[in-house]
């Protein structure tokens, strides 16, 4: 995130994602996208375990998409190329499920811009909530005393942190001076310290930066093993971050729960992501696709590798495995 922090928080507040455009311009962009992505079709075959197709065709009825480093580009927006592919899949009846380390408000704003109505998986699977009526399918929380201890530790270190309590996310960021509090959504608030706001169990705490992630995991991961989870993620698009949640939170488990809710077997799903926490989705889905900007160990656990998040990787995955376009 680094230098882009100011832009990141403006995007969070002002709304990232693009409305799917209509008319000739969209068709032109789509043709251009196909030209750009064409080399990847031949270069990224499926692993052997997924090469067999029932009746010669994969049937993908649900797509799980990570946000940062996957569906969102370097400008923290959904590109026209990816937005068009998502919209086409949605209009064909494919369920699109956002599965992110971010909190519900961020996922909701993206879902609204893409006209999605499926459950939103947030905080790496700790929180699953319906976007239309706000009904919760799952909400795992960190005990108040543990969350306050971790928040106080991050306060003392001055780490870049996002703490979610009772639907409110408190932000501490080096880009604070660039943020207009009046433009922040109602569920976001800038706060220099967070521990004082931990008056109830926390949904999750996100901490960013190499040193901060190392300090937090060294201080708490072993002590709270089996109680609190500290999965670390990073990719070429994102510097290291740790998503602190209840130990039962897992993107793969959450995907299974949503599949059950929607009546779609995991064998008819595709998951797309770019960081270590996304591997749990790959293990559940029929097809796991790593972004080109993913670390090598994440790519090794996927069935295919797409172009990066700034090269239409999500569109490539949808057209390759959902629409069965191979050239």
- For the chain, the first-to-last Cα distance in angstroms comes to 35
Q: How confident is the model at residue 176, as a pLDDT?
A: 87
Q: How confident is the model at residue 236, as a pLDDT?
A: 80
Q: Is the per-residue pLDDT at 45 higher than 70?
A: no
278 or 235, which is more confident:
278
Domains assigned to the chain: 2-139+251-321 (3.40.50.1000), 144-246 (3.30.1240.10)
C-alpha dist (Å) from residue 255 to 94, 98, 100, 260, 265: 15, 10, 11, 9, 10
Q: Per residue in 167-199, pLDDT tens?
A: 999 999 998 888 998 899 999 999 999 999 999
Q: What percent of the chain has pLDDT over 90?
A: 76
Average pLDDT over residues 26-33: 29
Strands 232-235 and 188-190: unpaired
Q: Which long-range contacts (CB under 8 A, 24 or more apart) does 211-214 make?
A: 212/154, 212/157, 212/159, 212/160, 212/161, 213/240, 213/241, 213/242
Going through the chain in order, the beta strands assigned E by DSSP cover: 62-65, 95-98, 120-122, 127-129, 136-139, 160-165, 168-172, 188-190, 202-208, 228-229, 232-235, 238-246, 269-273, 287-290, 304-305
Q: How confident is the model at residue 234, as a pLDDT?
A: 86
Average pLDDT over residues 282-299: 97
Q: Is the per-residue pLDDT at 54 higher than 50?
A: no
Q: Per residue in 126-158, pLDDT tens?
A: 999 999 999 999 999 999 999 999 999 999 999
Backbone φ and ψ of 128, nearest 5°: -125, 125
Compute how many other C-beta atoms are within 10 angstroms of the C-beta atom of residue 223.
Answer: 10
pLDDT band at residue 326 using 50, 70 and 90 as cut-offs? low
pTM of the full structure: 0.83
Burial of 219 (0-12, 13-18, 19+ CB in 10 A): middle
> Average pLDDT of the chain?
85
Q: Is the per-residue pLDDT at 32 higher than 80?
A: no
CA distance 262 to 187: 28
Q: How confident is the model at residue 58, as a pLDDT?
A: 62
Query: Can you state the angle between helices 313-321 and 80-91, rounded to 10 degrees?
Result: 30
Q: Per residue in 68-86, pLDDT tens?
A: 999 999 888 999 999 999 9
How much of the chain is helix, strand and coil, in % rounded to 5?
40, 20, 35
Burial of 145 (0-12, 13-18, 19+ CB in 10 A): exposed
Q: How confident is the model at residue 18, as a pLDDT?
A: 28
Nearest partner of 314 among 290, 281, 283, 282, judged by Cα: 290
């Amino acid at each position: 995130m680094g230098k882009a922090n100011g832009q990141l928080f403006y995007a969070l507040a002002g709304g990232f994602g693009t409305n799917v455009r209509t008319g000739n311009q969209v068709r032109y962009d789509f043709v251009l996208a196909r030209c750009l992505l064409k080399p990847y079709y031949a270069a990224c075959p499926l692993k052997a375990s997924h090469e067999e197709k029932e009746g010669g065709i994969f049937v993908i009825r649900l797509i799980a998409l990570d946000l940062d480093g996957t569906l969102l580009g370097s400008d923290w927006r959904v590109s026209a190329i990816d937005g068009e592919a998502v919209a086409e899949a949605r209009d064909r009846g494919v369920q699109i499920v956002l599965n992110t380390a971010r909190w519900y408000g961020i996922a909701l704003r993206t879902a609204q811009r893409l006209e999605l109505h499926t459950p939103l998986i947030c905080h790496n699977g700790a929180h699953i909530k319906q976007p239309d009526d706000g009904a919760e399918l799952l909400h795992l929380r960190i005990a108040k005393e543990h969350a306050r201890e971790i928040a106080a530790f991050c306060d003392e270190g001055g780490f870049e942190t996002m703490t979610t309590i009772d639907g409110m996310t408190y932000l501490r960021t080096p880009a604070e001076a660039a943020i207009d509090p009046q433009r922040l959504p109602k569920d976001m608030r800038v706060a220099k310290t967070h521990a004082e706001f931990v008056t109830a169990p926390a949904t999750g705490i996100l901490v960013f930066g190499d040193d901060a992630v190392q300090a937090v995991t060294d201080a708490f991961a072993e002590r709270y093993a089996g109680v609190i989870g500290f999965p670390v993620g990073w990719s070429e698009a994102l510097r290291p971050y740790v998503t602190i949640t209840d130990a039962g939170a897992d993107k793969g488990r959450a995907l299974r729960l949503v599949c059950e809710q929607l009546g779609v077997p995991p064998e008819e799903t595709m998951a797309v992501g770019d960081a270590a926490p996304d591997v749990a989705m790959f293990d559940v889905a029929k097809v796991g696709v790593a972004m080109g900007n993913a670390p090598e160990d994440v790519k090794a656990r996927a069935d295919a590798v797409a172009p990066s998040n700034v090269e239409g990787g999500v569109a490539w995955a949808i057209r390759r495995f959902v629409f069965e376009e191979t050239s």
